[in-house]
Structure formats: structure tokens, C-alpha cells
Amino acid sequence: MTLAETKVHEDLNTGLSGWPLLIVSAAIGGVAGVLSVGVARWLTHHGGLDSPDKHGISSVRACRLGGVLITSYVLFTIIYHYILDGELIFWGESLWVLGLSAGFFAIGLFEDIKGILSARLRLVLMLGAVAVLLGLDDDLLIKPVGLPMFDWLLASLWLAVPITLLCLAFLPNAFNAADGANGLVAGTSLIIFIALGDASLGGLNLLLNIVAVSCVIFLAYNLVTAKVYLGDGGAYFLGALVGGAMIAASNARELPVWYLLSLIFYPTADFLWSISRRIYGGQSPLAADELHLHNLVYGRIRRVTGWPIAANTMTGLGIALAFTGVPYFIWWMNADAAFELAWEWLYLLQSLVYLSLWLSLRPKPSSEGDEGGDRS
């Protein structure tokens, strides 16, 4: 290890175990919060550092094991309640969703540490994990959602199974692709978990509340220092958890389907748009590039402010609040008549805003490498 790399390790470990974060984690998450920070700190000694070329739009080397902080907090909370009550706090559907999310996290964590799993192999493993889950509990199959154009497909078991497989494997990958700015995916997930609190999902509500607290602890460090980010493991975990909870809420008819889709608009739309333009350009749909909307927004803000870390944080929080916070705010302001709102028009408006921003910010062919900023 070079002297510079040793300094990066020292900076990371000092920050990750610093008093401000320990105080925040203790105040918000109690003993489990402090323990989860300790686990993440220990793991930074055993790999997990990336160059700026691999993660988001950061300009510094950072630890890609932030997902460990989130998942270890969930684990310590489960253990704590088991010691106190002598029983597990999750059962049935919530246990299956947690198991699926943990499986996805394991796939991502292995890639974060070893870096030897191709995108295609990870996708195959994810599809296999979802297939096992559906074999154990078919309650997570997507049921008719109230949209005539899709309900005839979902009414058939032979079609509902592959559709559910694709959706539950698609969303974690979309979250991972969107994990390119401070607070973007964790902030989006946090808002979604709060929004889904309006649905009666049994044990899933408790699970979402616990993960929401872990997201707050993660954000407390990620937004300030930009030295830790979710990595594949963390993004896969949050994406799988959001996917499972979304299906549960949709199946229970607790929340309008277009409202649910508007909450996950940015990661899904950006991922689909990226795949489409890569295919159109003759590239692999899974190839990385610097043309995500968050890359383009960051490039513009960085040039205006001259502060890379501030621009990074403004980009992530701004996109999370604009595309996920706004739908939840509209719901919150119109709670008594929320089901009567035309949420499909909001989704259309989100699409127009996204495309308008992307087209206005996209780089000219001669300057394609300049607009996106430091690629991660």
C-alpha cells in the first residue's frame, strides 16, 4: 500500500468512527447504530476502497461498503429484539422480503469486495434468488393492479411469474445505476419508506421503519464527507426491499399504482433511458457511461459553484426531493382525496421534466467527456 493509500485509509477510518457520526448513530439508532458504524469501520481495513473512476461523481477515493452499515443495523436490531423478547420481529411476508434483500446484498457485497462478478452473472443470480422466493411464497406475485392494459397479463400465472421475476430483478439494478450522487439512492429510499408508512403492510411496516433509520445514519455521513457510498450491496439491498414493499402495497390495493410508480420514477426511468440510448448507439445496454441525468446535473452545478462535494450533495438530494419527494408531498397534502388524484398525469409530467433536463444538459459530441464531471 502506498503512502497516499494509507492516508486515505486513515482519513476514512477517522471519519467513519468520528464522534459526530457516533453521536448521530447513537441518538437515532441506539446501540445498534453504534455497532453498525463499528462494523463498517472494521471492513474499511479489509478492502472496499474505489478510485473516483468507479463510483458516482465523487472526486475522491471512497469506501464502497456503506451498504454494510445499513444491513448491519437491521441485523443488530433483530438480535436486540430477540434477546429482549425471545422471538423474531419479522415473520411471513416481511421475512421473505428481508431474505430476498439479504440475498441481493450478498451478491452485491461479494462484487464490492472481489470485483469479479460480471453484470450478466449478477442478473442471473438475482433471477434465481427471486425464483426461489416465489417458490416459497407466491403472495409476492404481482397481482392485477387496476390497469386494464396490464391486468389481463397479470391474471395469468404463467405471465405473472416472469413479470414479477423481471420487476424484482430490475429495480435493484436500477437503484444501483442511480447510485451516482451523494444521498440520491439512500434519500430516495428513505422518502419511499416514509411514504409506504401510509399502507397497512403488517410486519413490512416495521422493517421499512428500521431500514429508514439506518438510511438516516448513512446519510449523516455520506452527505457531509462523500467518503462512503452504498456500493452494489447497499443499492441492491434497498432496491430489493423497495420492490418487495411496492408489490405488497400494490397487491393490498393500499396505494394507487401510478403513485407507487411516481415514487420510483427517477431510478427506473433513468435506467430505462440509459439502456435505450446505449442500444440505439450500438453499445452494450449494461455498459457504464457518464450520461445519466445525475452526471449531467452535477457537471452543471459544479461549474457554477466550483465546489465538487457540495455539487455532489446538491445533485443527489435535489433529484431525490424533486422526483420522489414531490409525489409524497402531494399525497401528504391531499391525504383525504389522494386516491382520486390523476397520478398518471404526474408520472407523465415527471417524464417530460426528465427528458427536458437531459436534452438541455447533454454534452455536445465534441465535449462529451466534460459535462458529466468525474465519472463514477
Per-residue pLDDT tens digits for 154-166 = 888 888 899 999 9
Q: How many domains does the chain have?
A: 1
CA distances from 75 to 23, 89, 207, 240 (A): 20, 11, 11, 16
Domain range enclosing 199: 3-371
Alpha helix positions (H), 179-307: 184-195, 203-225, 231-251, 257-263, 265-280, 293-305
Local confidence band at 180 (pLDDT 50, 70, 90 cut-offs): confident
* pLDDT tens per residue, range 82-122: 777 766 777 777 888 899 999 999 999 998 888 888 888 99
Judge whether residue 369 has pLDDT over 60: no
Local confidence band at 225 (pLDDT 50, 70, 90 cut-offs): low
Judge whether residue 243 has pLDDT over 90: yes
pLDDT at 319: 97
Q: What span, in angstroms and rounded, lies between the C-alpha atoms of 351 and 255?
A: 21
Q: Which of 13-27, 139-153, 163-177 has the least mean pLDDT? A: 13-27
Judge whether residue 251 has pLDDT over 70: yes
Local confidence band at 6 (pLDDT 50, 70, 90 cut-offs): very low
Nearest Cα to Cα of residue 110 among 65, 167, 77: 65
Local confidence band at 366 (pLDDT 50, 70, 90 cut-offs): low
pLDDT at 52: 52
Hunting for cell 440520491 — which residue is that? 184
pLDDT at 76: 84
Hunting for cell 466534460 — which residue is that? 370
pTM listed for this prediction: 0.86
Say if 320 falls within a structural domain. yes
* pLDDT tens per residue, range 7-23: 333 333 333 445 455 55
Say if 299 falls within a structural domain. yes
Local confidence band at 223 (pLDDT 50, 70, 90 cut-offs): confident
Asked if 257 and 145 count as a contact pair (C-beta separation under 8 A), the reply is yes
What are the phi and psi torsion angles at 362 (to 5°)?
A: -60, 145
Say if 376 falls within a structural domain. no
- Sign, CA dihedral 44-240-23-311, equals positive
Q: What span, in angstroms and rounded, lies between the C-alpha atoms of 65 and 69?
A: 8
pLDDT at 341: 85
pLDDT at 136: 81
Q: What span, in angstroms and rounded, lies between the C-alpha atoms of 307 and 287?
A: 28
pLDDT at 13: 37
